[in-house]
């Protein structure tokens, strides 16, 4: 497999996908995509699919990459089958997964990616690479047929992970929420991906890339910090 799972579309005050473009270009350079890149905008709620496609296309064009959105194709399944790379944007994970189920694309995308088609996702697009979407941060909640996702990796993902507690905040921290999840699901592992980081995943390893440390959470060992360029699989 060949996955790039980004925490977010922005890091700090950078522009849209600005921090991610070098990683995206390097990721796609490993394969002969011939600019036959399929974008899936189903996570978009506050932005229409046409506008979302234009936003991502403009960013990708800075690296000489062209894409088309799945909603512009007459047949979504054919678009997935013919794609040389699949890009899934962020937004609402529930809406994204629900749309994938409605279009009967879960198994097809999973098969394509397991056969070697490069996959890039950020935020919600990274969430669905996990076994389930049960560690998403998102609202509103739309109820898909199942919370089971693509299962391209064995661990859960929490994008936009923020370590610590903002001053004056009296609600649960992200770490506490993940700890609660692991109390109910003690056999799972959760990767906390701070903004600016990503996982570069192949069949044998999941490397943390970016400019910050990440975190792995388990029921028995709690929270562990992961250094940049570490292999997540060594902690599983």
Contacts of 198 (CB under 8 A, 6+ apart): 4, 5, 6, 7, 20, 23, 126, 208, 209, 210
> What average pLDDT does the segment 83-107 reach?
98
> What average pLDDT does the segment 151-164 reach?
96
Q: Among 19, 27, 138, 218, which one carries the catalytic annotation? A: 138
Mean pLDDT, the chain, integer: 96
CB 40 within 8 A of CB 89: yes
Distance, in Å, from the CA atom of 141 to the CA atom of 49, rounded to the nearest integer, reads 19
Q: 16 lies in which domain range?
A: 3-235
| Short-list 163, 157, 149, CA closest to 4 | 157
Q: What is the pLDDT of residues 14-66, one digit of tens each?
A: 999 999 999 999 999 877 787 899 999 999 999 999 999 999 999 999 999 99
Q: What is the pLDDT of residue 32?
A: 79
138 is catalytic: yes
Q: Among 19, 27, 71, 160, which one carries the catalytic annotation? A: 160
160 is catalytic: yes
Task: Indicate which CATH number applies to the domain containing 70.
Answer: 3.40.50.880
> What average pLDDT does the segment 170-185 reach?
94
Q: Among 123, 206, 218, 230, which one carries the catalytic annotation? A: 123
Q: Is 64 helix (H, G, I), strand (E, B) or coil?
A: coil
CB 181 within 8 A of CB 135: yes
The DSSP secondary structure of 166-203, one letter per residue, reads -TT--S--HHHHHHHHHHH-TT-EEEE--TTEEEEEES
Q: 1-14 as b/e, with b when 16 or more CB fall inside 10 Å?
A: bbbbbbbbbbbeee
Distance, in Å, from the CA atom of 192 to the CA atom of 152, rounded to the nearest integer, reads 17
Fill in the DSSP letter of residue 231: B
> What average pLDDT does the segment 194-218 reach?
96
> What average pLDDT does the segment 130-140 reach?
97
Q: What is the pLDDT of residue 33?
A: 83
Higher pLDDT, 172 or 228: 228
50 is catalytic: no
Contacts of 133 (CB under 8 A, 6+ apart): 93, 94, 97, 127, 147, 149
- Per the structure, the count of domains in the chain is 1
- Residue that has been written with the tokens 């997964």 in this structure: 97
């Amino acid at each position: 497999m060949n996955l790039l799972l980004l925490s977010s579309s922005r890091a700090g005050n950078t522009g849209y996908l600005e921090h991610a473009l070098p990683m995206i270009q390097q990721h796609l350079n490993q394969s002969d995509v011939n600019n036959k890149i399929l974008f899936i905008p189903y996570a978009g709620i506050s932005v229409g699919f046409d506008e979302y496609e234009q936003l991502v296309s403009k960013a990708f064009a800075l690296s000489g990459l062209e894409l088309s959105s799945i909603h512009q194709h007459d047949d979504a399944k054919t678009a997935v089958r013919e794609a040389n790379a699949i890009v899934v944007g962020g937004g609402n994970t529930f809406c994204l997964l629900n749309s994938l189920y409605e279009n009967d694309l879960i198994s097809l995308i999973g098969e394509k990616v397991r056969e070697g088609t490069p996959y890039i996702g950020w935020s919600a697009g990274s969430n669905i690479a996990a076994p389930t979407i049960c560690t998403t941060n998102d609202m509103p909640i739309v109820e898909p047929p199942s919370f089971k996702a693509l299962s391209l990796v064995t661990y859960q993902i929490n994008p936009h992970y923020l370590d610590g507690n903002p001053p004056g905040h009296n609600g649960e921290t992200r770490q506490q929420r993940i700890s609660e999840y692991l109390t109910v699901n003690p056999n799972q592992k959760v990767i906390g991906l701070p903004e600016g980081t990503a996982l570069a995943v192949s069949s044998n390893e999941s490397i943390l890339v970016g400019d910050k440390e990440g975190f792995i959470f388990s029921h028995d060992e709690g929270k562990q910090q992961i250094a940049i360029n570490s292999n997540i699989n060594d902690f599983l």
